[in-house]
Structure 1
Amino acid sequence: MGAMSDPDALRLLGLLSAPDRLRALSALVLGARTGEEVAARTGMPARDALAALERLERGGVAVREEGEWLPRPEALREAVARAAESRAARVEEPAAEGAGREEAKVLRSFLREGRIVALPVQRAKRMVVLDHVARAFEPGVRYSEPEVNAVLRAFHSDHASLRRALVDEGFLDRDSARYWRCGGTVDV
């Protein structure tokens, strides 16, 4: 695995890989508060919207309070931060030398709590940051654009620029409807 090897981060990515759950969470983030509102905003049948909301609640990214559904985006940020800390700790282990230490230094400079504070201008440093992000995608798995955007939002608010940089630098490739990881470091 990569930066997202933290079990919580992987569990959350799996949770949001289902289109119905991703749409339901998006509707909550955009202000829907009832199952009916989620169904109306997503075009899903009410039964499917409720099932997606209940699954999001079990996964910890939504909560039902006083008859309303509320998103918990902080659960995603916390999982990404834990995964980034875990990754940084592995990179900084005493056995890590040379390039591993330089990579950790770059990541410490450009990431805070697992989120990119600025994409480096210098290409070598930008490649380290993009490689770190690319590890959130499993090699061999095809992702829809909304799935890619959901993962990238955990790293940076400008997910479109980040997605474009990953494609331009050869970490992700795409066809008309899907993205897949085609480059970067693979942890074994």
Structure 2
Amino acid sequence: MAGQELVGGRWTGGTVQFMSDAGPEALVGLLAEESRLKVVSAIVLGATSEPDIVTLTDLEPKTVRKALERLIRGGIVETAGTGGLRVVTERFKEAAQHAAANRPQARPEELGATADQAQVLRNYLVDGKLSHIPAARSKRLVVLDFLAGQLEPGRVYPEEQVNYLLGRFHPDYAALRRYLVEEELVERREGFYWRTGGTFEVGAPAE
């Protein structure tokens, strides 16, 4: 930790060479060691100096000092203007964004879409969820056909279960449910729903 000095239990002066990797692996690595995790927890709970951290964690001063050096160098902890300490919450946000950006995207086919449906769904499915409901009826019908496929033919569903199944793909499950009924892909009666249309898989005839 270049140029940093511990004065009266507070870190002052100089600059710090931070780690540039804000990915989740680096963050987990920094917090994998128990003493560093305890130090971060103590700062979150209000500790602003090394003596405060020692009191809250019962760690040895040299252990706290070593953990602080590593955490400050890693960019998880920084010194405030008064020489106190604070957790850099932005690092956690960056790690979450990094993980989301690099998460493998589920392909429509992996969610049960047919090849024809997948050609349209690729424009609307993001990480297994609909980014929005298509305004164009032709596109919306493809999406609805796929959603109707989430219901087993011949099975009757209570409205709560239909809401759950549709809500996995978009928060406005009421609109999706209404579209399914209007397009006669699903029929509704007295709070119960069953599939009446859409693309059905036809198995090979028994020999």
Normalising TM by the smaller chain, what interval? 0.3 to 0.5
| Greater per-residue helix proportion | 1
User: Taking structure 1 as the reference length, what is the TM-score of the superposition?
Assistant: 0.48
User: Taking structure 2 as the reference length, what is the TM-score of the superposition?
Assistant: 0.44
